[in-house]
């Protein structure tokens, strides 16, 4: 069996997808398959937050349990890890891919309203794309790195066949499949938005949101810009932090919420997550309203806690509008559309800074162009999307800089363009399928 034999252990697959024994159900209706997809949406995928421990904006809390779980991750020690070091996910991505494949394969057999069936299958395509995208950015070379598209990454899985042993596809092949699935989703999804309790489901705006993020990671600036602008045409609302009642943008109740499926912080990774004082110093702690909205000091410690690391189910977030202001601004800057880049960046900052700092920033940004403007966009992206599972991936897709960390008087170094910017496939997955060996 392949690496995907793990899915047989999941109750959803066991209940619905095996040969029907007494007392079990074979899905036939759109509601049956919707129940399957709902379970796939809820898989606990926290790796985007955990991998940020490797970045320059996150440190592990000084606690024995947390250090045992995450210290080797934050110091890029991938060869001699402690016994308790958390393994990065594999099954939690291929399980929803399996479910998506089952729904796609069943499209012509599902009983129900055609529009509802198409919407369901379209969501399955987008879920398959999203999970392949996360996997390739954990375990594949960055798409923008020279020659990376021809390097081996992760297996593409587009069927429910568990008999074949999959091999790793190249980065380029994975991205081609992702874009193909996004295109298929676009043909089928018609729901433009969902009521609050169903915000975890994909909509037409989710299709554009995923395409914008994928194109950004590819360095396809025009397509990234166009997709981000389509997102903002559908929803350009922002939380105004000048209003004391404003919500964290990662709340599914926020006006910014587009899709609220992933919960990055659960259990130990939430309690372990801290922001180092060196990163906090990059905020204007008086006038940048994000400082008090996002962070709290920890007494007698050289780090801060972040309110984004919240284990409440309210804080599920796959896409929210601020990201797409920043994608549009970054892509526009690369396209030498300085006016458009300034417009999108300032629209975001007007809702994040008090009037004093905004006036200063507005004057400075309106005088910027070219490389200086792009640098400002990237800095604001760093400050805005911190602790949302974005930073490590941003470092990978840009210049993969050297990082130095000093922890308990010991210095650790990640070199410029270090091979450790790409994770090794988990030992447990390689043990199940030796063809995955790096």
Instruction: List, as one string, the DSSP characters of 124-160.
Output: HHHHHHHHHHHHHHHHS--TTSTTGGGSB------S-
Assess whether pLDDT exceeds 90 at residue 90.
yes
Average pLDDT over residues 396-406: 97
Average pLDDT over residues 246-272: 94
Dump pLDDT digits (tens) for 304-336. 999 999 888 899 999 999 999 999 999 999 999
pLDDT at position 49, please?
96
**Residue 288 forms beta bridges with which residues?**
353
- Dihedral over Cα of 182, 183, 187, 191: its sign: positive
Sequence-distant (≥ 6) Cβ neighbours of residue 417 within 8 angstroms: 145, 400
Assess whether pLDDT exceeds 60 at residue 1.
no
Ordered by start, the domain boundaries in the chain are 1-43+89-190+419-438, 191-398
pLDDT band at 21 (very low <50, low <70, confident <90, very high): very low
Cα-Cα-Cα-Cα dihedral of 413, 415, 215, 94, to 10°?
A: -60
Assess whether pLDDT exceeds 90 at residue 3.
no
Same fold, 1-43+89-190+419-438 and 191-398: yes
Average pLDDT over residues 368-391: 98
1 or 237, greater pLDDT? 237
Give domain 191-398's CATH number out of 1.10.3720.10, 3.20.20.70, 1.25.40.390, 1.10.10.920.
Answer: 1.25.40.390
18 or 425, greater pLDDT? 425
pLDDT at position 24, please?
54
Average pLDDT over residues 284-312: 95
Task: Using a cut of 0.85, tell me whether the model's pTM lies above it.
Answer: yes
Q: Determine which of 16-20, 171-175, 408-412 has the lowest per-residue pLDDT on average.
A: 16-20
pLDDT band at 43 (very low <50, low <70, confident <90, very high): confident
- Are 256 and 237 a contacting pair, CB within 8 Å? yes
165 or 378, greater pLDDT? 378
Sequence-distant (≥ 6) Cβ neighbours of residue 286 within 8 angstroms: none
pLDDT band at 300 (very low <50, low <70, confident <90, very high): confident
Determine what percent of the chain is predicted with pLDDT higher than 90: 84
pLDDT at position 26, please?
83
Average pLDDT over residues 226-240: 99
Average pLDDT over residues 37-58: 94
Q: Determine which of 26-35, 225-234, 416-425, 427-436 has the lowest per-residue pLDDT on average.
A: 427-436
Give the CATH architecture of domain 1-43+89-190+419-438. Answer: Alpha Horseshoe (1.25)
* Mean pLDDT score of the chain: 92
pLDDT at position 82, please?
64
Neighbours of 9 (CB within 10 A): 10
**Residue 404 forms beta bridges with which residues?**
413
């Amino acid at each position: 069996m392949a690496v995907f034999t793990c899915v047989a252990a999941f109750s959803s697959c066991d209940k619905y997808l095996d040969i029907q024994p007494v007392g079990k159900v074979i899905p036939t209706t759109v509601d049956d398959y919707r129940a399957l997809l709902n379970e796939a949406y809820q898989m606990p995928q926290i790796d985007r937050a955990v991998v940020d421990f490797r970045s320059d904006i996150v440190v592990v809390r000084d606690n024995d349990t947390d250090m045992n779980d995450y210290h080797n991750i934050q110091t890029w020690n991938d060869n001699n890890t402690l016994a308790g070091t958390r393994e990065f996910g594999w099954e939690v991505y291929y399980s929803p891919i399996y479910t998506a494949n089952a729904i796609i394969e069943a499209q012509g057999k599902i009983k129900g309203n055609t529009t509802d069936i198409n919407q369901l299958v379209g969501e399955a395509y987008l879920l398959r794309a999203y999970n392949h995208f996360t996997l390739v950015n954990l375990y594949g070379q960055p798409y923008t790195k020279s020659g990376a598209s021809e390097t081996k990454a992760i297996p593409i899985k587009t069927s429910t066949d568990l008999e074949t042993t999959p091999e790793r596809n190249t980065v380029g092949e994975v991205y081609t499949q992702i874009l193909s699935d996004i295109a298929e989703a676009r043909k089928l999804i018609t729901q433009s938005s969902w009521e609050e309790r169903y915000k975890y489901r994909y909509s037409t705006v989710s299709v554009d949101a995923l395409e914008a993020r994928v194109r950004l990671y590819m360095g396809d600036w025009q397509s990234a810009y166009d997709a981000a602008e389509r997102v903002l045409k559908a929803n350009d609302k922002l939380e105004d932090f000048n209003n004391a009642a404003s919500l964290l943008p990662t709340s599914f109740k926020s006006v910014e919420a587009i899709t609220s499926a992933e919960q990055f912080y659960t259990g130990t990774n939430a309690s372990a997550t801290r922001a180092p004082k060196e990163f906090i110093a990059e905020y204007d702690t008086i006038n940048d309203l994000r400082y008090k909205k996002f962070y709290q000091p920890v007494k007698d410690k050289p780090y801060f806690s972040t309110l984004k690391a919240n284990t409440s189910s309210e804080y599920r977030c796959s896409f929210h509008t601020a990201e797409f202001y920043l994608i549009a601004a970054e892509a526009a800057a690369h396209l030498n559309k300085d006016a458009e880049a300034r417009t999108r960046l300032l629209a975001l900052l007007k809702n994040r800074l008090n009037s004093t700092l905004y006036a200063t920033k507005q004057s400075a940004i309106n005088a910027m162009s070219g490389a200086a403007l792009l640098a400002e966009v990237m800095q604001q992206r760093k400050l805005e999307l911190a602790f949302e599972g974005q930073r490590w991936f941003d470092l990978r897709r840009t210049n993969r800089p050297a990082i130095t960390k000093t922890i308990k008087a010991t210095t650790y170094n990640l070199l410029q363009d270090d091979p450790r910017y790409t994770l090794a496939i988990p030992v447990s997955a390689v043990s199940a399928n030796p063809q995955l060996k790096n």
